[in-house]
Amino acid sequence: MTAARITPAEKAALREPWEDIARQRQAVELGMWAFLASELLFFSGLFAGYTIYRSIYPQAFWEAGAETSLWFGGANTAILLISSAVVALVPRAARWPGLGRFARAMLWIGALLGVAFLVLKGFEYREDFHEHLWPGPDFKLHAEGAELFFSFYWCLTAIHAVHLVVGICLLARLAVAGARDPGWFTETPAVQATALYWGLVDIIWTVVFVIIYLPGRGG
Amino acid sequence: MSDAVLDDTSLPHDVSTFDKGYLGDGHTLRSWLLTTDHKRIAILYALTLTIFFFIGGVAIALVRIELVTPAQDFVTADEYNRLFTLHGIIMVWFFLVPSIPATFGNFLLPLMIGARDLAFPRLNLFSWYLTVIGGAFTVYVLLAGGVDTGWTFYTPYSSIYSNSHVIAAAIAVFVAGFGTIATGINFIVTTHTMRAPGLTWFRLPLFVWAMYTVSVVIILATPVLAMALTLMMAERFFGVPIFNPQGGGDPILFQHLFWFYSHPAVYIMILPAMGVVSEVIPCFARRRLFGYDFMVYALVAISVVGFFVWGHHMFVSGESPYANLVFSFLSFVVAVPSAIKVFNWTATLYRGQITYEAPMLYAFGFVGLFTMGGLTGLFLASIPIDVQATDTYFVIAHFHYVMVGGTVSAFFAALHFWWSKITGRMYPETWARFAAVLMYFGFNFTFFPQFIMGWAGMPRRYGSYPPEFQIYHVLSSAGAVVLAAAYLMPLGYLTWSLRWGRRAGDNPWGATGLEWQTSSPPPTHNFDKLPTVERAPYDYHPEGYVETGEAARTIEASQKGGEQE
Amino acid sequence: MSAAGRRRHDDMPTVREIVRRPAWVLLVLLVALGLNIGAAFLPIAPFLKTAFHLIVAAGTVALIAFIFMEMEKKGPTIRLFAAAGFIWIAILFLLIFSDYGIRR
């Protein structure tokens, strides 16, 4: 009945069993938010563990926090904030065919900023290894609980990095597919979903930065 | 009641069931493994879960053989640990958690709300593959020599000391967990966005409500288990001391995170069962479900309050006494909505025209066994008794009454109730009634002695025991044989019915749900014409339907009751 | 319905219009990041610093969710699911600290 009014672009973006692209977009968006709630709970175990141990060993966490690199952490936070502002432009622009190229450029910039984050992270990890900040027999600090801080440092940043890698792949995939089929790009729910995922990666990092890099500064 | 639908005229008799509806869509392996039809994916799940159910069953059969004699003489202690661990992991994550949602939920949710499919059919197929990949890891663990931590993976044993395949087993659970999360998201979105015109939230069948609430529990609980297992694996693999007291860590933290998932997981298993029973009982009592609104509120309440009670698994772990107090109180609170449900099912029967077809017998079995399991749960929620009963067979019996007596009974109720919808054939009624009764007796035969020996102090997870417990163990093992027979029987007669079963009409039970308005088996796109809904669910005596005799008086009485409310 | 919602070419915003709001928010977030880092070096009690850090972080998360992820334009269902994520974290913290807050 509405079939006659479906544009080719909408047809390219429609998936079974949907008949209306607007409904499909709503559904994907709801599903994505439900997934993000699930992701938040995934990280909640780490946050809860960190909070518990910090309440037990406040002094050790304070000393250990001072060993992290605020330069790397701060720069990466800024990079990720900029990238999420950039990616936030994508769903605002992608709906207009005339702005498709702009939206895809933003996707690439967002992905490159993500890669920059990972590169900095790699240098940071190398420095940490040199300073014996990996929990184990050679561990640099001796206060009880300092090892726990760095257990959470490694787990939080590594699991976040895995999410970031997934996010970069999603951004790049969307940019490539969008360039191949610009009509699909204006209608597909994948634009909104990808942007939402990237937002979550930034939200998680915001909390990680505060609890990992900021304790123990200024004596 | 079923006389009118004995004859099926919709099919010439030489057309096989397998050529009709969605089943006729292709017979190649490829047409099944790449399908995005929710009904076919449900069948894939059903076959997979059946295989795992029997692997888990064989593991526990070996355990029950060992326990016939007090001495450790059939398997070694180490093998014994691996057997009950395998039984637990497979039965929990590869049967009970996905059982009803992934099979009947997948098959029925779109049919019940008048939709063509789930919201994300490809995600649905993907979630099955995740379950299969997780299952493959489990099979690897099985073949490589097993895992001996118990299904609970408690640290520091799992993270430091165990010499078995802990990481592969944890990956299996992790991957399968994301399969259930994907299913949960799919169900949530489908329920929100794809209901038929007129099908408001308070016209949804309770099975749909159960699928919806269980999905919310799944997406909020499962990731916490995933993180607990990830941290345990990180400790085992990289040596980060998160749960290791030598590095200042606390092993109890693992238990907190584990039970934050695993207690709600009990509700993940039981809420769908409640949904099934809420469909079956009104149908065979020919009565509107008593207290529909409260049944919905009770489902929502159970799924929320179910998150507040996990600490009752840890009363003797060294958890603070204050936490014990809080968790004990909240555990009593969660019993209230469960009791409301049992009350409402019973009240639905009152003055109904009850018939005793097999699904109804299974549903009765559910109500009885769930009530037993629930009430003994109250014993365990009370701290002084739990301290006495912790890690005894009393606990084992309690949770088997809920999870096996409850969920598996409901699974079989659903299987018989919707068998005709799924296959287009009727199961043989006499055999099915016999199996239902046998299952009820076999179950009690197996697990009731465990209450007694647990109360007397028999601890769980031991292959050898003092001789005074032998009588209970022998009874329990004998019961297990009966129970096994009751589980194998449907496998036989249901397979038989695929070819020789009587052809069912579209609605052999005269039931009210939308799934009964389409043909059996349903066409690939579910409905030739998408339905609209104008009535509340369970409309078993609609206006204009003239009853006589006792039934007429029943209606009159219920209408008077309705006005008084 | 979808025809009414269809976008016409002359409605198309300029790049400048699209960028303006997120750019302002980004500026605020970067300033907040600077303040948070600066506050870490203040000679005040650690718990005050931590409280300040967490408040700034909460504000950052709120701005990302509401502006960047466009939560401001969403209906109650989506808000409910997003809120559920945070509420369930609160449940985990509250009940887990009924143990760790008292145990010693």
Segment B103-124 mean pLDDT: 96
Structure tokens at B44: 């894939």
Residues of chain C with Cβ-Cβ distance to A218 below 8 Å are 40-43
pLDDT of residue B558: 59
- Shortest CB distance from C68 goes to which of A10, A74, A88? A88
Phi, psi of B8 (to 5 degrees): -105, 120
Those residues with Cβ within 8 angstroms of residue B144's Cβ, 6 or more apart along the chain or in another chain? B165, B168
Contacts of B557 by beta carbon, 8 Å cutoff, 6+ apart: B351
The region that residue B291 occupies, defined by phi over 0 for left and psi between -120 and 50 for alpha, beta otherwise, is: left
Predicted pLDDT of residue B27:
87
Q: B247–A135: do the CB atoms touch at under 8 Å?
A: yes
pLDDT in tens, B204-214: 999 999 999 99
Give the gap in angstroms from C-alpha B219 to the nearest C-alpha of chain A: 5
Higher-pLDDT residue of B364, B530: B364
Residue B395: CB atoms within 10 A of its CB come to 22
Q: List Cα–Cα distances, B160 to B156, B236, B412, in angstroms.
A: 6, 6, 41
Report whether pLDDT(C48) > 60: yes
Q: Do C103 and B311 make contact, defined as CB atoms within 8 angstroms?
A: no
**Which of B217, B227, B310, B527 should one mutate to test binding to chain A, selecting the residue with the greatest count of A CBs within 10 A?**
B227
Across the interface, whether the CB atoms of A16 and B36 are under 8 A apart is answered yes
Q: Is residue B557's pLDDT more than 80? A: no
Closest residue of chain C to A106, computed from CA coordinates: C19
Compute the distance between CA of residue B429 and CA of residue A148 in angstroms, rounded to an integer: 62
Residue B554: band (very low, low, confident or very high) from pLDDT cuts 50, 70, 90: low
Measure B307 CA to nearest chain C CA, in Å: 8
> Tens digit of pLDDT for each residue in B297-309?
999 999 999 999 9
Q: Is the pLDDT of residue A81 over 90?
A: yes
Q: What is the pLDDT of residue C2?
A: 42
**Helix C76-100 with B206-238: angle, nearest 10 deg:** 50
CATH of B36-564, one of 1.20.210.10, 1.10.10.10, 1.20.1600.10, 1.10.3470.10: 1.20.210.10
- The answer to whether B227 faces chain C, any CB pair under 8 Å, is no
Q: Which residue has the higher pLDDT, B238 or B18?
A: B238
Give SS3 for B271.
Answer: helix
pLDDT of amino acid A6: 85
Is residue B2 pLDDT above 60, yes or no? no
Contact A88 C69 (CB under 8 A): yes
Instruction: Note whether B90 contacts A: Cβ–Cβ < 8 A.
Output: no
**Model confidence at B541: pLDDT above 90:** no
Among A18, A24, A28, A38, the strongest candidate for a mutation testing the B interface, having the largest count of B CBs within 10 A, is A38
Q: How confident is the model at residue A177, as a pLDDT?
A: 97
So what's the pLDDT on residue C9?
61
Q: Does A34 touch chain B (CB under 8 A)?
A: yes
Q: For B525, which residue in chain A has the nearest alpha carbon?
A: A17
Residue of chain C whose Cα is closest to the Cα of B250 = C100
> A49–B115: do the CB atoms touch at under 8 Å?
no
Mean pLDDT, chain B, integer:
92
CB contact under 8 A, C96 and B216: no
Q: What is the mean pLDDT of residues B150-167?
A: 94
Instruction: Evaluate if residue B562 carries a pLDDT over 50.
Output: no
Domains of chain A: 20-213 (1.20.120.80)
Beta carbons of B389 and B380 less than 8 angstroms apart: yes
pLDDT of residue B297: 97
How sure is the predictor about B564, in pLDDT bands with cuts at 50, 70 and 90? very low
**Cβ-based contacts under 8 A for chains A and B:** 119
Q: Which residues numbered 312-351 in B keep a CB inside 8 Å of some CB on C?
A: 318-323, 326-327
Tens of pLDDT, residues B244-258: 998 899 999 999 999
**pLDDT at residue B26 in the model:** 84
In tens, the pLDDT along B331-359 reads 999 999 999 999 999 999 998 999 999 99
pLDDT band for position B296 (50/70/90)?
Answer: very high
**Per-residue tokens: B201:** 């939230």
Q: Which chains touch C (3 or more CB pairs under 8 A)?
A: A, B
List pLDDT tens digits, range B20-72.
Answer: 889 888 889 999 999 999 999 999 999 999 999 999 999 999 999 999 999 99
* CB B250 within 8 Å of CB B318: no
C-beta atoms of C26 and A85 within 8 A: yes
Instruction: Assess A137–B contact: CB distance below 8 Å, yes or no.
Output: no
Distance, in Å, from the CA atom of B187 to the CA atom of B202, rounded to the nearest integer, reads 17
Condensed to tens digits (0 to 9), the pLDDT of residues C90-104 reads 999 999 999 998 886
Check whether A138 has a pLDDT greater than 60.
Answer: yes
Q: State percent of chain B over pLDDT 70.
A: 93
Best residue in C77, C78, C95, C96 for a mutation probing chain B (most B CBs within 10 Å): C95
**Neighboring chain A residues of C5 at a CB cutoff of 8 Å:** 22
Beta partners for B197? none
> What was the pLDDT predicted at B565?
38
Q: C33–A44: do the CB atoms touch at under 8 Å?
A: no
Chains that touch A (3 or more CB pairs under 8 A): B, C
- Whether the predicted pLDDT of A69 surpasses 50: yes
Overall average pLDDT of the B182-202 stretch:
96
Residues of chain C in contact with residue B323, where contact means CB-CB under 8 angstroms, are: 95, 98-99, 102-103
Confidence grade of residue B551 (pLDDT, cut at 50, 70, 90): low
Identify the pLDDT of residue B535: 86
For position B17, what pLDDT does the model report? 66
Listed by start position, the domains of chain B span 36-564
Please identify which residue in the block is written with the tokens 């059996």: B520
Of residues B395 and B17, the one with the higher pLDDT is B395
- Estimate the crossing angle of helix B321-349 against helix B292-305, to 10 degrees: 160
